Amino acid sequence: MKKIGYYPGCALLSSAQDYNSSIHAAFERLGVVLEEVEDWICCGASSAHATNDLLALALPARTLALAEQAGLSELLAPCSACFSRLLLASERIKGDEDLSRRVNDVIHPLHYRGTVEVKNILDVLVNEIGIPEISGHVVRRLDGMRVVAYYGCWLTRTMRIPSFDDCEDPHSMDRILAALGAEPLPWSAKMDCCGGSLGLSEEGLTQGLCRNILRAARDVGAEAMITTCPLCQANVDIFAFKHKDENISVPVLYLTDLLGVALGCHLRGSHWRKKFIDPTGVLKRHALLS
């Protein structure tokens, strides 16, 4: 079985526990062992980089050093924010000897040598496991389910670092969804910002952004919105629940929720109750739940 290092980050062990469980269930079916880095810490998203640059690099560098110490050559970070912070820290440290020295002074006695490749979940699924392998493990196709792939504004915009997908018009998630039998719809908001952590400090701004995203999904006839970012999922899902009277609400699911269903994973009823907009009606309509 293939082994990949795993960094759940803060969200996947708290507000997005359902994402964590569906990732483990789906990857196990695909023959991938996820080895969680021991003693990892918060990556610093969303505020460290706006507060202190050295701190913003040292926080992810400590986890990268622990992964390196454990002999892990690559590290999967499912959260878009975590992926961005870990990737940027690794690349900046590798490209600047003086910066590397200063960061390693902070995380001493650990030392990061720059050997860990930071990956996000779409890159791993498409470019390492592969679409044919995923298709070969499907036991319950999602035929007829009309969905929109919501990438969010961070995942492919990797700040002067080459992206695994087109940075403005990505299609990796659409390819996975199509391989599962779903119908990924073209739409205008797949890269739009949901407001991120501004949901706490600028609620009005975030509500406007989420409203536009949900309207775009409704306008193309989507039955569900699919994402890989726990912050995007929470922002849009909570807004949809609070404003159900606007008739723009659709379930907001993680990609690995549908991947798990298609691969025959047993995701308990409590798994779906983590969502504010109940997705079980859509799943039952397509005979995906008993």
Specify the pLDDT at position 199: 64
pLDDT tens string for the chain (290 positions)? 789 999 999 999 988 999 999 999 999 999 999 999 999 999 987 776 767 889 999 999 999 999 999 999 999 999 999 999 999 999 999 989 999 999 999 999 999 999 999 999 999 999 999 999 999 999 999 999 999 999 999 899 988 888 999 999 999 999 999 999 999 999 999 999 998 766 666 777 888 999 999 999 999 999 999 999 999 999 999 999 999 989 999 999 999 999 999 999 988 878 999 999 999 999 999 999 86
Decide if 124 is inside a domain: no
> Does some domain include residue 136?
no
Q: What is the pTM of this model?
A: 0.94
Q: Which CATH number goes with the domain that contains 164?
A: 3.40.50.11810
Q: Judge if 218 and 259 occupy the same domain.
A: yes
Residue that is last in its domain, among 119, 149, 183: 119
Q: Which residue, among 287, 154, 118, has the nearest Cα to 227 in the 3D structure?
A: 154
Per-residue pLDDT, 201: 66
- Please give the Cα distance from 6 to 3 (Å, whole number): 9
Q: Are residues 227 and 280 both part of a single domain?
A: yes
For the chain, list the strands marked E by DSSP: 2-6, 32-36, 74-76, 117-119, 146-150, 183-184, 224-227, 252-254
Alpha helices in 188-242 (DSSP H): 198-201, 203-219, 230-242
Quick one: pLDDT at residue 204?
76
66-to-40, 44, 71, 96, 113 alpha-carbon distances in Å: 7, 16, 9, 20, 11
Instruction: Assess whether 190 and 276 both reside in one domain.
Output: yes
* Residue 172 domain boundaries: 141-285
Identify whether the C-beta of residue 154 lies closer than 8 Å to the C-beta of residue 81: yes
Q: Are residues 152 and 85 in the same domain?
A: no
Same domain, yes or no, for 97 and 145? Answer: no
- Is there a domain that residue 276 lies in? yes
Pair (58, 157) in one structural domain: no
- Residue 33 covered by a domain: yes
In a shared domain, residues 149 and 275: yes
| Residues 237 and 159 occupy one common structural domain | yes
pLDDT at residue 196, as a whole number: 77
69 and 193 fall within a common domain: no
pLDDT for res 48? 65
Q: How far, in Å, CA of 180 to CA of 57, rounded? A: 38
Task: Supply the CATH number for residue 26's domain.
Answer: 1.20.1050.140
Half-sphere exposure of residue 177, counting CA atoms within 13 Å on the CB side? 26
Residue 132 lies inside a defined structural domain of this protein: no
155 and 111 fall within a common domain? no
Residues 150 and 112 in one domain: no
pLDDT value of residue 269: 79
Three-class secondary structure of residue 148 per DSSP? strand
- Domain shared by 180 and 259, yes or no: yes
Taking CA atoms, 20 is separated from 13, 40, 199, in Å, by 7, 16, 22
In contact, 25 and 258? CB cutoff 8 Å: no
Out of 88, 119, 150, a domain closes at 119
Cis bond upstream, residue 46 (ω within 30): yes
Q: Does residue 109 have a cis peptide bond before it, meaning omega lies within 30 degrees of 0?
A: yes
Model confidence pLDDT, tens digit, residues 251-277 = 999 999 999 999 999 888 789 999 999
In a domain? residue 135: no
Point out the domain boundary residue: 119, 150, 185.
119
Domain count, the chain: 2
Give the count of beta carbons closer than 10 Å to the beta carbon of residue 107. 19
Query: Does a structural domain hold residue 128?
Result: no
Is residue 131 a part of any domain in this protein? no
Q: Give which of 16, 34, 13, 96 is closest to 61, Cα–Cα.
A: 96
Q: How far apart are CA 166 and CA 19, in angstroms?
A: 24
